[in-house]
Amino acid sequence: MKENYALSTEKLNEIRASVDIVDVISEYLPLTGRGQNFFGVCPFHDDHSPSMSVNRERQIYKCFSCGAGGNVFTFIRDYENISFLQAVQKVATKTGILLHLANGSEQTIQKRSQYHEMYAIACKLYTNNLYTEEGLEAIDYLERRQITKEARKEFEIGLSLKNSHLLTGLLTKKGFTKEEMVQNGLALSKEGELRDSYFNRIMFPLFDLMGKPVGFSARIYRSNDASKYVNTKETEFFKKGELLYHYHKAKNIARMKEQVILVEGFMDVIRLFTVGIENVVASMGTAVTKEQLILLKKMGKEIILLFDGDEAGRHAAYKTSSDLMKMGVYPKIIVLEDDLDPDEYILKYGKEKIEYKIAHPMNTIDFKLEYLKENKNFSSPLDKANYISSVIEELNQITDPILRETTLLKISEETALDASIIRSQLVDLKDVVREETVSTPKPIKSLKMNRYQEAERRLIFYMLNHAEVIDLYKQKVKFLSTEKYRLLAKEINYFYEEHGYMKEADFINVLLEDTDLLNTFHEITSLSLKDTYKKEEMEEYIDTIYEYKIVKQIDYLKSEQKKIIDQEKKKALGDEILELQIELQKRKVWEEL
């Protein structure tokens, strides 16, 4: 068994055991105690009543609606949308455990830590600069832009000075090399001379999902430089398409409000903050990526797109809403007048007007229909036909049958085209496939089980919770006929032999790289069985499993018998089948008695 994620199983288990899963999950969402378990609203699907159970004794969580489940590491990983190793680090940090990583990961962690340290130093330097005498002009500029002192503090806005060697000099004193500064985007090297990447600009730091500075957007404020903004180049630890501006501070507010607002630029976020709207993030000025949409889904069940009011902004809203629909989300859209962006709109019309807009957004379908109608002349048959064709494409993306039908009837009335003609152009709803995202757990399907497979599942359930049942399995079973249960039982047995104990919360760590095994594990842990057991129950399961083996053997011999031409061999197999059938019949008669 290989080590998981460059950490030994022993180390993972030590870190996992250092915290209480109930305490950790309570930091993210409210839990209510009920019997031995704690319950909360599941953050991994659109949950309206507490369906996620957290078990303190077993140190695992489980949602009985969507199937999400795991230990403290997997919860943090999926909730924060970070890597497994980052989740382990977060737990280790809580208890002061030092990580010793293998397979080159220690070097990666050190590089990441060094990167964050360099940007933290830069961020602090720039913030301090703003409040020196040399920063008075920049503060005056920000005040004139109505960026308040509170907003400057919230977004850690700073200033790079005219001295283009200030940061590089400081980083050199801190022991960082020229190569490290250049590679991480904080310095430039021209003809052997090292200088700061940013000088004489207002600095807007960019943060990763965990709230650590990873880049900057630097704006001119008193020169005529053609480059209005200079942004940090993408690096190993800074990829704009995987981040959302203000995510680390907005995520909890958005989850409480069950609503997140997406804008296009960080100035829009800052402006909305100044009027008291904090559940807002930005896509950092790039096209919205799938990774960013997954983050949005986790932030709130209602997503509002508040993009620029010009043609480019409306087009971006149209495309982003289409991408979200493929993921099963129907966002709301706000259209701003006068081609203004949110920053400009608030400065022109004020707080009350933007609050009204947010309270009364358009639904996705109405927005799309309005967008598709732009510049269309319905008196022109060609324009009308093009419009209807575009609408049919949209209808084919709708998975809700009622929404699809009501929209169809609306289009029929609007265009005076018979609804049956439009309906005839639609694909069957069962062929409309919703795009699945990696982070969204698949619902637990109702499994049709025969009594033999049910016995296998129940035996594995108790193997996961009681070491003595594993011993019983090794002595009397050793082999399960259903492949997925056999593989899981094999892993349980291996873990027990390797570590001398069995605990679900630790065992999960060895399954994380095998999706099929993990799904089988979740299927087993979803069973509604008592934690305690009677030995007679286990014996009954074992007898049933043995009976299943006889049935499977009979089926196998019958299939082999059909292939054989030699009559003597055929008869020998027939005799063997008969013996097994007699044994099976005796067992059933015994059960009936």
**CATH code of the region 9-95:** 3.90.580.10
**Whole-angstrom distance, CA of residue 442 vs CA of residue 328:** 13
In degrees rounded to 5, what are phi and psi of residue 275? -105, 15
353-406 pLDDT, tens digit per residue, is 999 999 999 999 999 999 998 888 888 888 888 888 888 888 888 878 888 889
| Cα–Cα distance measured from residue 196 to residue 284, given in angstroms and rounded to the nearest whole number | 23
Where is 305: in which H helix or E strand?
strand 302-306
Residues near 155 by Cβ (< 8 Å), separated by ≥ 6?
204, 205, 246, 266, 269, 270, 273
Q: Dump the DSSP string for 358-401.
A: HHSPEEHHHHHHHHHHTT--TTSHHHHHHHHHHHHHHHTT---H
556: enclosing H helix or E strand: helix 535-563
The answer, yes or no, to whether residue 591 has pLDDT greater than 50, is no
Selection from 134-148, 227-241, 286-300, 370-384 with the highest mean pLDDT: 134-148
CATH class label, 451-592: mainly alpha
**Torsion sign over Cα 570, 575, 581, 584:** negative
Q: Tell me the CATH architecture of domain 105-238.
A: Alpha-Beta Complex (3.90)
- The residues pairing with 4 across neighbouring beta strands, listed in sequence order, are 7
Task: Give pLDDT tens digits for 108-133.
Answer: 667 878 898 999 999 999 999 999 99
Domain ranges of the chain: 9-95, 105-238, 242-369, 375-431, 451-592
Return the structure tokens found at 192. 């052997």
The confidence score (pLDDT) of residue 209 equals 82
Tell which wins on pLDDT, 117 or 298. Answer: 117
How many CB atoms are closer than 10 A to CB 475?
Answer: 9
Over range 48-61, report the average pLDDT. Answer: 88
Going by pLDDT thresholds of 50, 70 and 90, the confidence category of residue 225 is low
Strand blocks (E) in 177-301: 187-190, 193-196, 201-207, 213-219, 229-231, 259-263, 280-282
What class, spelled out in words, does domain 242-369 have in CATH? alpha beta
